[in-house]
Structure 1
Amino acid sequence: MKRIVVLGGGTGGTLAANRLYRDFGEGAQITVVDRDDDHVYQPGLLFVPFGMADAGDLVRSRPRQLADGTGYHRSEVECVDVDADRVHLADGTVLRYDALVIATGARLVPERSEGLTGPGWRSHVDTFYDLDGAVGLASALAAFDGGRLVVDVLGLPVKCPVAPLEFCLLADWFFTGRGVRDRVELTCVTPLGAAFDEPVAARVFAELLAAKNIELVTGFATGEVDGTARRLVSADGREVAFDQAVVVPLHAGASYVDHSPSLGDERGFVRADEHTLRAEVKDNIFVIGDAAALPAVKAASVTYFESEVLARNVGQFLDSRPLDASFDGHATCFVESGFGKALLLDFDYETEPLPGRFPADTGLPLLKESRLNHLGKLLSSWFYWHSLLPGRDLPGLPSAMSRAGKQFPEPAGR
């Protein structure tokens, strides 16, 4: 019987394990490993500071999301012995594998930014990228009656790169509803040269921020967070003052990757072929989701689209057949813009977010605010728990991006 070990019981690991169990059934021994039993619906963290979601509703049991017959082992991972095809766990267990799936995501490393975890951390400097921070910000925002609120992305890559923009837009709605928006100055700070890293969407978001009187500071590589003086200091000496800072800390791969020679890059992310998802380090290792060093964005939708190709390729590898190189970096993201509206992005490695309709000419509007998109965002959590995590194929959401409905620019020279 083939032994498949999946490191990580979050979105990527659960999706991979459930798809693999559907493909192999009792014909393979599938074991998922994670350090705890709490599966957090991370997209919901954005809503907690604004009272739109309860933190307790975002957490469910990891093993209960797995198909019956899938093994679950609770322990920290100590290291992966790539040469010996073994995983060493902190509780002393050694797991042998024929195929290994790395799905341990990205972790926050606030300690790597000067001053971030110093004075003010978890009070007037906080993040909504973890559960404790999101809960803390709910209290902070409820008491914030005026001043400058700054949302700062400390470095890239990050999970869900549109979430900081969403936070700014929801803050505009939130403070308007509280009747204090005219006393609150909102500022979005990013290391990018624009609001988004693709030009068409960048223009849309810049116009949206400007219309809502949200300042955009670009090209700001934060070198220090001074919680005492309440200021951000960039590497080139620029400063942004704040009364409340909402930061997106630096991200890194799981710590065990650093203790596993040749497995990851300098930040602990696992290099892999961008189309097959097979790790560069060895043929029997695959990677999915935020743990991967790929040009695709780190988002739940990307992980879902990856899972179909990854599960197929694990099977192809174990059967000694050629791999499927069809993953195209497909991402589909709802972007909350406040006041009961949202935008929708759909893009891949080659195609930037464009206006149009999704998934076809009569579908949801792309790159345009609408209430339908907002409803889609609200329904995402139900689909996450009941359709996405079980590894079901979602109608209208193939792993490869469709060109239908998109308004492509005319070729140059026509």
Structure 2
Amino acid sequence: MRRLLVLGGGTAGTMVVNRLRRALPQREWQITVVDRDDDHCYQPGYLFLPFGTYTPDQVVRKRHAFIADGVDLVLGEVEHVDGDAESVLLVDGRVLDYDYLVIATGTSPRPDQTPGMLGRQWRRSIFDFYTYDGAVALAAALPSFDHGRLVVHVTEMPVKCPVAPLEFTFLVDAWLREQGLRDRVELVYVTPLSGAFTQPIASDLLGAMLEDRKILLETDFVVERVDDERKMLVSFDEREVPFDLLVTVPLNMGADFIGQSGLGDELNYVCVDKHTLRSTTHDNIFAVGDASDIPASKAGSVAHFSAEVLVDNFLQLVRGAPMTGSFDGHANCFVETGDGKALLIDFNYDTQPLPGRYPVPVIGPLSLLKESRANHLGKLAFRWVYWNVLLPGRPLPLPSRMSMAGKVAPVETTTATPPEED
């Protein structure tokens, strides 16, 4: 009996075990997935909790309900991976042996890594929304904020769903206008990047959208500490950004056991070949989703597309054939812009977001780099797709490799906001 062990039962881990359980003979393969608890969270839903679009029960379901029959679900926390002995030690002392290991433990916010962030103002005037508890706490606090300076802040890249801080900024701008409070609130977006986003064309567009909404943009801001007594972000170059309400994205890091096991980089992301997702230190270890160090967005779409490549490669590998799949860094992300609209970006390692139509050239129905009602509805509809199609490992009619079909490369980058679509 050959043993496949998957660490992490989130988006990528669940997809991998469900697809491989159908493809690998049960009499020959034991498949086990490990996670610390039985709660599976729809993380894109955290963004909507503070605004009441989703309720808490809509973003959390039981993990075991989405794990295929024939896959063993082990609840426990990983202490250490011994790559040479091909075994995993759990915190409670249990040892799980493997022939192949897939690490899909994701990435987590670490507010403890920024001095002062977890001070007296934490969950009082300083909030995060990248965790379930943080989003619920912010949902309770936001209705009482009616004036002052609201700062949305990104500590450092990479972070999971890198467009989410911008989405929150646009959504809170729209929410304040709906409440009749926008003129009483100064909105500021603070980022360590030189622009609003990592990709130039999208950064110019999103930056123009911030300016159009009278949202101040503070760039190249690398936070050194949070002065919670003065309610101030302080950068390493001694700039200061005051706040009355701070919505922050703390430093994101992989699981501690990854670094302690000698498998990762300084942020505890597993070092892998960016095309095959195979560990650079052990041939029988792979990493997928946010847990790896690939230079792609830590987004659900990347977890989805890379998991498809990994599954195909894994099946070739265990049958003694060369791995022919090559992940190209494909990501696509809806960007909520408020007022019931969103835009969509589609890109990979080599190609930045471009205008056009998706997924069918000319027809769409979704538009790239343009705000539209259809894009917003697409994002909301994805929650059903996530629970009912993506997690169970059913096929989606979207290729894992990015296509240039339907995209238009601009002659020059423009900062003008494109026309909106109905």
TM category (shorter chain) comes to over 0.9
| C-alpha separation in 2, matches of 1:350 and 1:344 | 18
Q: Which runs of 4+ in 1 moved over 2 A?
A: none
Q: Is the 2:310–2:325 contact (alpha carbons within 8 Å) kept by the matching residues of 1?
A: no
Residue 274 of structure 1 and its aligned partner are, at CA, apart by 0.6
Per-residue displacement from partner, 1:94-145 (whole Å, max 9, x unpaired)? Answer: 1111110000001221111010001201110010011111111112210011
Give the aligned partner of residue 311 of structure 2.
311
Query: Residues 146-295 of structure 1: matches in 2 within 5 Å?
Result: 146-260=147-261, 262-295=262-295
1:270 aligns to what SS in structure 2? Answer: coil
| C-alpha separation in 1, matches of 2:18 and 2:227 | 45
| C-alpha separation in 1, matches of 2:322 and 2:296 | 23
Give structure 1 stretches of 5+ with no counterpart: none
1:263 aligns to what SS in structure 2? Answer: coil
Give the aligned partner of residue 365 of structure 1.
367
Amino acid paired to 2:394: R
| C-alpha separation in 2, matches of 1:335 and 1:354 | 14
Q: TM-score, normalised by structure 1?
A: 0.97
Residue 66 of structure 1 and its aligned partner are, at CA, apart by 0.8
Give the aligned partner of residue 32 of structure 1.
33
Give structure 2 stretches of 5+ with no counterpart: 413-422
Q: 2:82 aligned with 1:76, yes or no?
A: no
Query: Residues 58-97 of structure 1: matches in 2 within 5 Å?
Result: 58-97=59-98
Per-residue displacement from partner, 1:58-81 (whole Å, max 9, x unpaired)? Answer: 111111111111110011111110
Give the aligned partner of residue 16 of structure 2.
16
Q: Is the 1:106–1:252 contact (alpha carbons within 8 Å) kept by the matching residues of 2?
A: yes
Give the aligned partner of residue 321 of structure 2.
321
| C-alpha separation in 2, matches of 1:39 and 1:273 | 28
The more displaced of 84-93 and 69-78 is: 84-93
Residue 392 of structure 1 and its aligned partner are, at CA, apart by 1.6
Amino acid paired to 1:98: D
Q: Is the 1:361–1:404 contact (alpha carbons within 8 Å) kept by the matching residues of 2?
A: no
The counterpart of 2:384, out of the listed 382, 385, 394, is 382
| C-alpha separation in 2, matches of 1:202 and 1:171 | 20
Residue 258 of structure 1 and its aligned partner are, at CA, apart by 2.7
| C-alpha separation in 2, matches of 1:344 and 1:357 | 9
| CA RMSD across the alignment | 1.1
Give the aligned partner of residue 404 of structure 1.
405
Q: Is the 1:125–1:244 contact (alpha carbons within 8 Å) kept by the matching residues of 2?
A: yes
Give the aligned partner of residue 354 of structure 1.
354
Q: Is the 1:19–1:307 contact (alpha carbons within 8 Å) kept by the matching residues of 2?
A: no
| C-alpha separation in 1, matches of 2:193 and 2:349 | 18
2:80 aligns to what SS in structure 1? Answer: strand
Residue 324 of structure 1 and its aligned partner are, at CA, apart by 2.3
